[in-house]
Amino acid sequence: MDNFILKGDIVFSKSMTELEISESSFAVCENGICKGVFKTIPEKFSYFPVKDHTGCLIIPGLTDIHLHAPQFPFCGTGTDLELLEWLERCAFPEEEKYSDEAYAQKAYSAFVSEMIKSGITRACIFATVHTKATEMLMDMLDKTGLVTFVGKVSMDRNSPQSLTEKNTDDLKNMLCNIQGKYKNTFPIITPRFIPSCTDEMLDSLCEIRRSYSLPVQSHLSENPSEKELVSKLVPDSDFYGQAYDMHSLFGFEIKTGERFKTIMAHCVYSDDEEIKLMSKNGVIAAHCPASNINLRSGIAPVRKLLQSGVPVGLGSDIGAGHTLSPFRAVTDAVQVSKLYQRLKDHDARPLTFAEAFYLSTHAGGFFGNIGKFCDGYMFDALVLDDSASRPLYPMTAAERLERYAYLFTDNKGIKEKYVNGKAVYLQNSV
Ligand code: GUN
Ligand code: FE
């Protein structure tokens, strides 16, 4: 049943800086598409069933545009290490385990059940190099109804032998196998990062991307040692992002002039030239504040990225990040932006709560029309029961939402979750 109406206190971003608040109102969904928010139900929708959530908050779905599903088992550990050592000691050893299908089944099941319960409605996910395990993850995710992009990771250098591929044949076979197989889950080209990929591999990924018209995700300018390593590995690049761009994996096809969606995670050390190219090519930055704190990476210049026209979304970067909660990513983004202004750049205005909420609900435009309860938008929604917060005096719905994001952890209060008008999680049915 994709025709229904949600009643409650509705909050969404009117613009990047401003929240639209409609208390005790009706959000109408027809065939998975939003028809708008109304104070009283318009005649033409009067026969739609109403789900009455009076007193609850109703907001658009939140997104996670950068995370590593195979790293879920160890998140919350290894946080004393910086990126390159952390990869060798935590990430790679865990990812090696996914050659074992029984292990992958167990670990990915646990991950997927947490995804269902979280506030995430759409996500962009790294898997591992293993095609069997990656397909298993895609099978599981597709069934959830969440909209997900899943990348079989590509890597052919500077990696443990069991994670080092000879070529892109496995990826090609996998893409062939899964063509047309899923309704909600889609492939995405995923070179791990420049230190893990030879020129040959990047060129091959560029060809595969073109022939299947796929988006791209990777990592960019996360850590000072990583950045230095890239400048040694690709001496003819002027900046890190150029090392992707040389192979047409940075939002723009040099040969054909085609544009394609690209997400680059972190961008903590992106300089002016890199930011300029991201803006020109429409490359989306995935800001992952929890990960950047845990691995001591630093703080991404989010205000500067936004002012330069770079679209920004938020990511948990599990397992360098330790929580799947997209509300936590929102509040972390606000908090680190305050430190950034105080410690690094006095002119960089901190993100407001409304701005960080916008980043999460709009995902840098990666998923198209989401994030608003306006006519024609895809109907992704969360129903939040914040009654446990018991304020001493009445608060506006906007204040309640901010408080919910800061105070409610572990998915507490998530009552219902909808993606494309389908219920993907109902608290009382589990
Ligand atoms: N850079 C390359 N691989 C990874 C990874 O798995 N996590 C993070 N945070 N950065 C990376
Ligand atoms: Fe990552």
Q: Specify the pairing of strand 4-13 against strand 19-30.
A: antiparallel
Asked which of 104-108, 184-188, 392-396, 416-420 is least confident by mean pLDDT, the reply is 392-396
Cα 249 from chain centroid? 19
Q: What is residue 285's predicted lDDT score, i.e. its pLDDT?
A: 99
Question: Does the beta carbon of 219 sit less than 6 angstroms from any atom of ligand 1?
Answer: yes
Q: What is residue 141's predicted lDDT score, i.e. its pLDDT?
A: 98
Closest of 205, 309, 226 to residue 268, by C-alpha:
226
Q: Are residues 224 and 105 in the same domain?
A: yes
Residue 148 has pLDDT above 60, yes or no: yes
Closest of 211, 279, 270 to residue 243, by C-alpha:
270
Residue 429 has pLDDT above 80, yes or no: no
Q: Are residues 412 and 310 in the same domain?
A: no
Minimum-distance ligand to the CA of 192? 1
Q: Are residues 193 and 337 in the same domain?
A: yes
Residue 291 has pLDDT above 70, yes or no: yes
Closest of 195, 217, 281 to residue 245, by C-alpha:
281
Question: How many domains are contained in the chain?
Answer: 2
Ligand 2: distance of its center to the CA of 369 in Å?
25
Q: Are residues 265 and 408 in the same domain?
A: no
Q: Are residues 8 and 49 in the same domain?
A: yes
The domain boundary residue, chosen from 365, 382, 417: 365
Q: Are residues 33 and 124 in the same domain?
A: no
User: In this structure, what are the phi and psi dihedrals at residue 346, rounded to the nearest 5 degrees?
Assistant: -65, -20
Length of the chain in terms of residues written: 430
- Angstrom CA distances, 406 to 100, 291, 326, 411, stand at 39, 18, 11, 12
Q: Are residues 50 and 78 in the same domain?
A: no
The domain boundary residue, chosen from 322, 348, 365: 365
Report the residue among 95, 154, 192 best suited for mutation to probe ligand 1: largest number of ligand atoms under 8 A from its CB. Answer: 192
| pLDDT tens digits for range 226-258 | 999 999 999 999 999 999 999 999 999 988 999
Q: What is residue 117's predicted lDDT score, i.e. its pLDDT?
A: 96
Q: What is residue 25's predicted lDDT score, i.e. its pLDDT?
A: 98
Q: Are residues 83 and 168 in the same domain?
A: yes
Residue 121 has pLDDT above 60, yes or no: yes
Residue 152 has pLDDT above 90, yes or no: yes
Quote the tokens at residue 359.
């980043």
Cα–Cα distance between 193 and 209 in angstroms, integer?
16
Looking from the CA of residue 91, the nearest atom of ligand 1 is 6
What is the residue-averaged pLDDT of the chain?
Answer: 97
Whose Cα sits closest to atom 3 in ligand 1?
A: 192
Q: Are residues 256 and 297 in the same domain?
A: yes
Ligand 1: distance of its center to the CA of 91 in Å?
8
Q: Which residues surround ligand 2, an ion (CB under 5 A)?
A: 265, 317
Mean pLDDT, residues 323-352 taken together: 98
Confidence of residue 409 (pLDDT cuts 50, 70, 90): confident
Cα–Cα distance between 143 and 364 in angstroms, integer?
25
Which residue has tokens 């889950």?
A: 185
Q: Is residue 100 within 8 Å of residue 328, measured between CB atoms?
A: no
Ligand 2: distance of its center to the CA of 192 in Å?
8
Q: Are residues 180 and 298 in the same domain?
A: yes
| pLDDT tens digits for range 98-120 | 999 999 999 999 999 999 999 99
Q: What is residue 430's predicted lDDT score, i.e. its pLDDT?
A: 57
Residue 292 has pLDDT above 70, yes or no: yes
Question: Does the beta carbon of 227 sit less than 6 angstroms from any atom of ligand 1?
Answer: no
Ligand 1: distance of its center to the CA of 295 in Å?
10
Q: Are residues 89 and 170 in the same domain?
A: yes
Q: Are residues 40 and 151 in the same domain?
A: no
Q: Give the predicted TM-score (pTM) of the model.
A: 0.98
Task: CATH number of the domain at 201, please.
Answer: 3.20.20.140
Q: Is residue 205 within 8 Å of residue 190, measured between CB atoms?
A: no
Supply the range of the domain harboring residue 68. Answer: 62-365
Ligand 1: distance of its center to the CA of 87 in Å?
7
Mean pLDDT, residues 170-196 taken together: 98
The domain boundary residue, chosen from 365, 388, 405: 365
Residue 1 has pLDDT above 80, yes or no: no
